[in-house]
Amino acid sequence: MPGLIEHTQRYRPIHEFLSGELQAVNEIIRRQLASDLPAVNELCRHVARYQGKMLRPTLTLLCGLAGGSEASAGHLVPRHTVRVLAAVSEIIHMATLVHDDVLDDSQMRRSAATVNHLRGNEMAVLLGDYLISNAFHLCSTLDRPEISRRIGETTNELCSGELLQVHHRDDWSIDEATYFAIVERKTASLISLCCRLGAEEAGADATLSEALALYGSRLGVAFQIQDDLLDLIGEERIVGKSLGRDLEKGKLTLPMIHFFDAAAPDDRLAMLEALAEAREGDWTARVRSLLLASRAVDSAHRVAAGLVEEARGQLSAAPESPARQLLDDLALAVISRTS
């Protein structure tokens, strides 16, 4: 939650609960990653800095409240399984960040040096592997094979989404359907599973679990669209990570797809020329100004806003509760964020 939702007086008890739970989640992560090798511990301490929004743990915990019958009565029940699932999701996410930074040649993440920049690509690849391995190991300590199975299915999806994205590298004719296929796999699948498992652990019935899973899926896609928008038109200082990397790495995201869909021939040509220079010099300013002069940013944002409304609509399946309200706020925050 930090950074995504303002703490308001109205929700203070649940904010305090969540903040305590997130601390407990971080403690589980810290203990899981602890090694007898000082070199490994040093790397893990560095990566812990990347944890920012803790979106996945927050959603797991909130759906673990909103999905339960105690939620509306205001009971806040901590559950070991939900905490561990939250930790597993965050470690998986950390692994994808570390490997993404290798793929994107990024130098900065949450205003700190990336592992690849600091210690080289080799260390970063191996550290990502260490994180993935630990995520699965932690999950297996739950003694719940069906959970391990679903986490594994989801990371299979996640990885194939990333592979599909790299497969379409430098493909300036990629369409919206392909973009959504990539994003649903690489981003939305894990977020959706977090919501679903949180809800199920709270005892939610199939209808409610499905609704919260759909909430997570829509929110996940919207989150990625906002990420892609920030990569194109965000302020590096505020976002806290290397920007402009998508185009540099030949990744066409929704705003660019919308640009090409709607552009007049001259603008299309101008953009292709700017992209052709994308690996040399100051090309980003040109891309950015062409993009801002078009309606592509607005229309991508509208798609994200539509998805957020779909996500919020799913919440009516849950009984009214502070947790449900926070899930609603969170969905809105996902597309209004600037970092």
Summarize as ranges the residues that interact with a second copy (CB under 8 A).
35, 37, 39-40, 43, 95, 99, 102-103, 120-123, 125-130, 132-134, 136-146, 148-149, 151-153, 155-156, 158-160, 162-164, 166-167, 169, 249
> Would you call 279 helix, strand, or coil by DSSP?
coil
| Secondary structure of residue 113 in the 3-state scheme | strand
Q: Which is nearer to a second copy, 58 or 217 (CB)?
A: 217
Q: Taking the chain, what is the end-to-end CA distance rounded to the nearest angstrom?
A: 13
Whether residue 197 contacts residue 210, with contact meaning beta carbons closer than 8 Å, is answered with: no
* Nearer residue to a second copy within complex by CB, 159 or 270: 159
Q: What is the DSSP letter of 35?
A: -
Structure tokens of 256?
Answer: 């660019």
Q: Which is nearer to a second copy, 66 or 252 (CB)?
A: 252
Supply the minimum distance, in Å, between the C-beta of residue 29 and a second copy. 14
Q: How far is the CB of 130 from a second copy (least distance, A)?
A: 4
With CA atoms as reference, report the closest residue to 90 among 122, 47, 124: 47
Q: How far is the CB of 84 from a second copy (least distance, A)?
A: 13
In the complex, the smallest distance separating the C-beta of residue 163 from a second copy, rounded to whole angstroms, is 5
Q: Which of 233, 246, 241 is nearest to 290 (CA)?
A: 233
Nearer to a second copy, 166 or 262 (CB): 166
Distance between CA atoms of 187 and 256, rounded to whole angstroms? Answer: 19
Q: Least Å distance between CB 28 and a second copy?
A: 15
CB of 329 to a second copy, least distance (A): 32
Closest separation in Å from C-beta 221 to a second copy: 18
Which CB atom, from 119 or from 295, has the smaller least distance to a second copy? Answer: 119
The residue (of 163 and 238) whose beta carbon lies closer to a second copy is 163
CB distance 318 to 65 below 8 Å: no
Fill in the amino acid letter for 95.
A
Contacts of 145 (CB under 8 A, 6+ apart): none
Stretch (H or E) spanning 112? strand 112-113
Nearer to a second copy by Cβ, of 162 and 201: the residue is: 162
Contacts of 162 (CB under 8 A, 6+ apart): 96, 185, 186
- Burial class of residue 39, CB neighbours in 10 A (0-12, 13-18, 19+): exposed
Q: Which residues pair with 113 in a beta bridge?
A: 108
**The total number of residues written for the chain in this structure:** 339
